A and B are shown apart, each in its own frame.
Chain A
């Protein structure tokens, strides 16, 4: 997969030394091959080995620089004796050899210190830094010995060679926002909650929110899984945020806000992507005006995610942190194409972060939106949440349209059928329970395992406990109405038929198994699409095949210069953390763009993307130095009989004791990766 001259990455033994480039054997891994935007790398060195792409690499210097990076770059470290002194000794001794002053005993001392670091360091960074160094000292011993024997500098010791290093961790790599997870967990472990929050906010402004409703892809790539169970990464984020809120401190921003650059950016949409863009641009001294169509801020997390999962008073704190940096919010303003044309002229850049707010159809017979009882999930959740969180009541017209007597969504005595399987559909059915529905049914094409994978174990089980009926392997065939009022649904049943050719099993309709459900409402929550009426037609912005705005997924600029897009309107309906990650990156690109007019990625960002491509987490790795069998903490939840009648937050969060013991399970799997040119 990667063309290498030599590689020990993950214990592979690729040695093309002396072979012609055409005959080189390839590495099995997608190794970082890029040095910066313009150049390829000549070597990659990291926690699990070293790869050379060029015969001319000065390996002694490479080893020295890697040790130096550990010294210089270790802002995350200096916190254990072996790492602190050992790292320095590694560097001093390697440099001594590289500059031609080393002795044979230095090699022994290097090995001795390396072993001590490997065995006793606090984080993986200290444990793994010696790994590639020992590889180099073993496979290129002659180069080291030559420096020692001849007392002469290594071959390129006095030349200008560039090295770019990055600290990562499996969880950080997996997190779309690349949150420095080990740092915020360490803050909890050390009971330094301000530090914890500031670590989170470096790349994730919505700490309260993503401490509650993040689907935590990081936990799927938590290295602790190799030992027992993943760390409860997501929930530990709450502690820092709660600390700030509970004690009435001002906001702990991750860095001091830069003085105003005089530049300004328009952000369309005050959801997670819009908020994130504004937050990081404001930190960089760029003024932001955020335009929001709804009367309330927060986007889909506010009007989509129910109060019992994401209490508004907490999300409001996240939003206040953004406002605290001087971000200007303009609500009740639906941005039009004309306004966009104006924005392009008035602002230095524009971010489109309008999400996906159109519920897609379930694709059944007689699926006519004008039938009373057919109610799109997004609209349904808007109405529920605007009332629960802000007391905004239904208008007379809406009451008629939704066939509701009360001023709020009251489903007493009604039967609700939701078609879905993702988070939105879970929110619909659980809100329906809380709205007093007599019967709530979820139809899902696939099985229980898949619904858990697509949402979370907790979410699914809590819904079942609250009384939602899940019908798996099912789909609506036809809506039946009387005078445009929904009466029932014809539902088909499917079964999973294995493909005799070994391909993916196919869902096949079971003939004669179809049945009818009498119901008052059908709520499609299968997916959403983007409403992009605001884009001026003459801009002819490039779109993806899913009708979202196209970018290259790295700098998030659209096909029109200065117009950026992030979040669901770019990616399609996805998670909060995905929106945050995109917007964080975009804001970094935009901060440079408004100053220079150029679209660039920083060295760090290039490395970040390369590492993600390679993947930092290795599920087959054997973990040593940690005791297995320590169970993951589970926080207490509100009793089902109490919670299904109201909108109180279901999850209490960890007790302090749980939080500390959970934080102590974290293995601090920091690694350093470095490329050389």
Chain B
């Protein structure tokens, strides 16, 4: 163990942990050192130079953001000399900075404004030749180089946290600027994190630009509704100024970019709220439908409170409750726990970020769960993590973090996990049963069928030789796999004996919560007498204008969800909703409460929830980054131990195979109806796929047969390889697909262009 370093800042005795810089310690201790370019979650850009401090015995000024202290050092953070040089830096920053604060989006929340005021720079002290530079329009993002102060936060976050590495600095002294990397036009996943971190108005949302001033917007802290990563965000709504009463809407989404990260769906896909009014007839039909229903089917895009209402309705009305996504997730988690022994607690994204060895199996993770992708990127960059990505489809988005891609045959996931367990546990001590089990595995057969070779497995071991923090990420391909339980149990062995922490990448925003709150029944697939709640049924109650009864969307409700971190997170009302909500139905049926959030304190404690009322939940990050959002669910007792089964014959998928997978930033019915996100709803295949399926770019195709048949355009995606096409699901409404394995062998017919 390396020791703490004792030193003083402004006379105060402080301690630095190994790896901490002077600035880190100062911030932790609440000592102010000004910065313009420092971003907590990336390596220091060291460009602004404002954070210089003086150190005893050292001539000149020392940069606090990248200098760790030495034992006994005495640091001074402010004095007349430092103040003067910092003032001079601010004078430089203000040279020729366009005086357009009146119309700049950033005005009022601008670091340059704030620091200019702080250092009393009231006029332009130095002069330099002005340069006129073109404003760039990069789709959802606009870049004005005239406003850019070259702090480099955007390039750092894009490369170190997101992984797109899509922008870079073009060096050139005074002419330095930010440019798209390796392309003319910005080619990225449009997470918009560069906008978030920009301290000035250089990088702005093209949609938001000139719409409102920062001080006119009210910020409503909430949690993103699009995937299970549980990212913190703030909906910004306009309540003053030119806002039209009754026309309230979300103007933009921002995030605490110092400590949290948001993908483009969270940032730009926010306007999925609905207008609603109280439709008494529809309400009465809904009550009747529920009374006569055999079952309620619901999706995991739901709050815990709503899920609890559904559970109460089940109990009261004797209904069945269907949610295959949550049910299969729960079964998977339990099976995992049955072999993982005490190590059943899923790993958090923070643990993933700190990993130096990562295996991802069964997910196209960059689009399935950007939160996990960003954690993997962070680990790859900051920890030098070796990342093994195992999937039938290579993903170019992951190339710069993945150190080994292993392609396995569709359907052979059970064999893949068995081989992983056998190989990675070969040199560790297990127990008698496990050793016997691993010994019994027919690696020759498994390798041949899954196409995962011995050399590839050896390469993983070689890469992980020095690993100290290993994490296994299991994706949603696995949960609906016919052999899901055994796959989970095999993963459990890696957790128990291999020292792997395991992230189980739940599909939807509240798959985890729904699986804990509800007692779910196996869905037989029939819609007869089934009330769908944001799901298919003979009567549909949904946050969808076309539903039989329209209810509030996720950004129009108070409530909580549980992320993959087992973290209960609050959501708040960004835009009001005048129509009915589930609690109104519950009240009519005798299980309701005054407000939906009155259910928060009643969430089942035996599943790890706490009896805390909604209004007592916090929802913020502290200035030094402690997460004060909701609470972490308590550990639950471990499931009874079970044994792994030796995989029998592995399935084969020959012919035309599709993979259900959404394009970047699209997730579900909510993202599908937002205005800024691109909606590419085509079937995407590689050049090779097109040749094999005899299709050309732009052909209209019929996918599947019978009731399931539907048509789409086919496009060739040059980034894809191999013979599997990607079919989106986001545009299929609330159709539940949590009960099917994501790969499917289908017939694809070209629809004649003459028809």
Identify the A interface with B (CB < 8 A). 70-72, 74-89, 92-93, 109, 112-113, 116, 119-122, 189-192, 195, 246-249, 622, 624-630, 636, 652, 655-657, 659-661, 664
Contacts and interface: CB of A to CB of B under 8 A. Distances in A.
A126 to B, nearest CB: 9
B43 A190 contact: yes
A87 B128 CA distance: 10
Contacts of A71: 173-174
B174 A87 contact: yes
B92 interface: yes
Given A78-B150, A113-B126, A625-B61, A660 B173 contact: no
Contacts of A84: 92, 150, 173-174, 176
B470 to A, nearest CB: 15
Most buried by A among B55, B125, B126, B168: B126
B588 interface: no
Most buried by A among B19, B69, B381: B381
A87 B126 contact: no
Contacts of B88: 82, 112-113, 116, 120
B380 to A, nearest CB: 9
A246 B62 contact: no
Contacts of A121: 49
Contact of B61 (A85, A119, A659, A664): A119
A243 to B, nearest CB: 8
Contacts of B59: 622, 624-625
Contact of B174 (A88, A93, A246): A88
B93 A190 contact: no
A247 B49 contact: no
Contacts of A625: 58-62
B105 interface: no
A636 B466 CA distance: 10
A627 B128 contact: no
21 contacts: A78-B174, A79-B171, A81-B48, A81-B49, A82-B88, A84-B174, A88-B174, A89-B95, A109-B126, A116-B89, A190-B159, A191-B381, A191-B382, A246-B386, A247-B399, A247-B401, A248-B399, A624-B59, A624-B60, A625-B58, A628-B58
Given A81-B48, A85-B128, A247-B402, A190 B62 contact: no
Given A77-B171, A80-B47, A92-B127, A247 B403 contact: yes
A78 B405 contact: no
Given A78-B174, A89-B126, A656-B384, 19 more contacts: A75-B172, A81-B149, A84-B176, A85-B92, A86-B92, A88-B129, A88-B174, A89-B127, A92-B129, A112-B88, A116-B85, A120-B49, A191-B382, A625-B59, A627-B55, A627-B70, A636-B466, A664-B44, A664-B67
A106 to B, nearest CB: 9
Interface in B47-105: 47-50, 52, 55, 58-62, 66-70, 73, 85, 88-89, 92-93, 95
Contacts of B386: 246
Contacts of B156: 190
A594 B403 CA distance: 42
A81 to B, nearest CB: 5
B345 interface: no
Contact of A85 (B19, B66, B93): B93
Contacts of B176: 78-79, 84
Interface of B: 19, 36, 43-50, 52, 55, 58-62, 66-70, 73, 85, 88-89, 92-93, 95, 125-129, 149-150, 152, 156, 159-160, 165, 168-169, 171-176, 356, 381-384, 386, 399-405, 466
B126 A74 contact: no
A661 B69 CA distance: 12
Given A74-B171, A84-B176, A655 B52 contact: no
A627 B68 CA distance: 9
A321 to B, nearest CB: 18
Nearest to B72: A629
Nearest to A112: B88
B62 A191 contact: no
A392 B534 CA distance: 68
A247 B395 CA distance: 12
Nearest to A83: B173
Contacts of A629: 70
Contact of A627 (B58, B173, B381): B58
Contacts of B173: 70-72, 74, 77-78, 83-84, 87-88
B160 A191 contact: yes
Nearest to B403: A246
A127 B529 CA distance: 78
Nearest to A106: B127
Contacts of B61: 119-120, 625
A311 to B, nearest CB: 11
Contacts of B58: 624-628
A70 B69 CA distance: 32
Given A79-B150, A122-B47, A624-B60, A92 B128 contact: yes
B46 A76 contact: no
A630 B69 CA distance: 8
B52 A85 contact: no
A81 B93 contact: yes
Contacts of A78: 150, 169, 171-176
Given A248-B405, A626-B58, A655 B384 contact: yes
Contacts of B356: 655-656
A78 B170 CA distance: 9
A223 B159 CA distance: 30
Nearest to B151: A81
B137 to A, nearest CB: 24
A246 B400 CA distance: 9
B298 to A, nearest CB: 42
Contacts of A661: 19, 68
A593 to B, nearest CB: 32
A112 B95 CA distance: 15
A112 B128 CA distance: 14
B27 to A, nearest CB: 18
Nearest to A72: B173
A239 to B, nearest CB: 8
A146 to B, nearest CB: 22
B75 to A, nearest CB: 9
Contact of A122 (B46, B127, B165, B400): B46
A655 B173 CA distance: 33
A651 to B, nearest CB: 12
A627 B67 contact: yes
A418 to B, nearest CB: 32
A75 B466 CA distance: 38
Nearest to B90: A81
Contacts of B36: 81
Contacts of A79: 45, 47, 150, 152, 169, 171, 176
Nearest to A622: B59
Contacts of B52: 119-120
A558 to B, nearest CB: 39
A53 B45 CA distance: 41
A119 B128 contact: no
A547 B176 CA distance: 52
A132 to B, nearest CB: 18
A83 B171 CA distance: 12
Nearest to B71: A629
Contacts of B403: 246-247
Contacts of A628: 58, 70
B224 to A, nearest CB: 26
A120 B171 contact: no
A630 B382 contact: no
A82 B383 contact: no
Contacts of B46: 80, 122
Contacts of B168: 192, 195
Given A119-B60, A191-B160, A656-B384, A630 B70 contact: yes
A52 to B, nearest CB: 26
Which 3 pairs of residues, A with B, have the shortest CB-CB distance? A656-B384, A78-B176, A625-B60
